Amino acid sequence: MGMDSRIEIKVTNPKKVDNVVHPVGQGHATSASSPPQPSASSPPTDGRGRQQQQALEEGLRHNRGRGRQGRGLIDYMPFKTWVPWLIPGFVIANVVVFLISMFINNCPKNSSSCVGRFLGRFSFQPMKENPLLGPSADTLEKMGALDVIKVVHKHQAWRLISCIWLHAGVFHILANMLSLLFIGIRLEQEFGFVRIGLLYLFAGFGGSLMSALFIQAGISVGASGALFGLLGSMLSELITNWTIYANKLAALLTLIFIVVINLAVGLLPHVDNFAHIGGFISGFLLGFVFLIRPQFGYVSKKHIPTGYIVTSNKPKHKPYQYILWLVSMILLVLGFTFGLILLFRGVNLNDQCSWCHYMSCVPTKLWSCKSQQAYCVSIEYQNQLNLTCISNGKSSIYNLSGESTSQVQQLCTKLCSR
């Protein structure tokens, strides 16, 4: 699903005594509001002194012409700008994986009513099977889609990560990749590829984990959880770096509006809103960890040119930033740990929460949320044959002791019809 990230946020001008770097020498300024003037009582006595005075006068004239933002004698860039390459790389990787899945799908071999047969092996499954113009569910499952039964009973936990690189169709990948470019490139420019790359992967994992705990029927694919993680990190970044922004209230309201609209779209059927919610919560907490910025007034000594001094010596971060960092780290570790424990124990959180399924789909007169068919899967686990019955997102596991195939089928029909 598409998400708009065109939010204009500007950094406030620093206070008069913040981030002001002055040259060491005769007649240097003591504050940004009092520009340096050559000393009348102690004129320069050598050629070097005259050069320093001329440089000061030239810098003063230059900065007067630049106005309010040019008060310092040299330009100070508070944040480094990175060249984005990882997010475009992620987009290319997703497109390549989609093409591979279409090549493996090979619709003409398995169906006579493919869409776009002129594309050969890359033609799409019939519209009534996949209206998003993509491969079959079997192909996505082979490629690494999120299948809770295989994650739990066959120990294929890697599907929690592999599923975020798969997409159900052309419309699906187009919406997600456009959103990734709009949101991800701006974040990578501001914070670099390491932090944004880790945030993307962890948020995608968090979305897959929450999806697996609530939706245990069928398969799930898509990068929406990771995208919602980036959106959540933008909100937490605004909060943790609150003091450095000028139009902070407008940015906050805009972000909240975008989040609410996108989560509301997730209430439609066939949309995994649990992955969206899990990714958003993970990204929101990760933003306090990865996207923390120094406050104005702090200048790193390694960035000060030779022969200059700093008039302000403030700590790098404010106390509330450290508190948010610590609390977020604790919540992330506990959330991921307990989530994995519950998942591998076969817990379905829908059984513990009777209303939680409304967070992913709200039934109306126009559509029904009970579109998933009931089915049973028999799996041999720990030398025992277990029958897993899945119906409308809820699963039940029954132990089989020597039943025949016909008895298993009858039991499946009976259990899933309840």
The closest of 312, 307, 310, 302 to 55, measured between CA atoms, is 307
pLDDT value of residue 406:
53
The closest of 35, 40, 24 to 60, measured between CA atoms, is 35
Q: List, in sequence order, every residue forming a beta bridge with 390; answer none if it has no partner.
A: 375, 395
Region of residue 313 (phi > 0: left; psi between -120 and 50: alpha; otherwise: beta): beta
Rounded CA separation 336/352 (Å): 18
Give φ, ψ of 310 to 5 degrees: -110, 130
Residue-wise pLDDT for 147-183, tens only, equals: 999 999 888 999 999 999 999 999 999 999 999 999 9
Residue-wise pLDDT for 363-400, tens only, equals: 887 777 765 444 555 555 555 555 555 544 445 555 55
Out of 136, 211, 224, 236, which one is annotated catalytic?
224
The CA distances from residue 387 to 141, 390, 401, 407, in Å, are: 20, 10, 10, 12
Residue type, 271: V
The CA distances from residue 398 to 52, 288, 381, 403, 406, in Å, are: 86, 43, 12, 12, 16
The C-alpha torsion from 195 through 360 and 239 to 181, rounded to 10°, is 40
> Is there a catalytic annotation at residue 276?
yes
pLDDT value of residue 15:
44
Residue-wise pLDDT for 223-249, tens only, equals: 999 999 999 999 999 998 887 777 878
> Is there a catalytic annotation at residue 360?
no
Question: Is residue 323's pLDDT more than 80?
Answer: yes
Out of 153, 172, 276, 357, which one is annotated catalytic?
276
Torsion sign over Cα 21, 23, 26, 27: negative
Q: What percent of the chain has pLDDT over 90?
A: 42
Q: Which of 153-157, 192-196, 358-362 has the lowest mean pLDDT?
A: 358-362
The stretch 307-317 carries a mean pLDDT of 66
Question: Is residue 263's pLDDT more than 50?
Answer: yes
Residue-wise pLDDT for 90-146, tens only, equals: 999 999 999 999 999 999 988 888 998 899 999 999 988 888 999 999 999 999 999
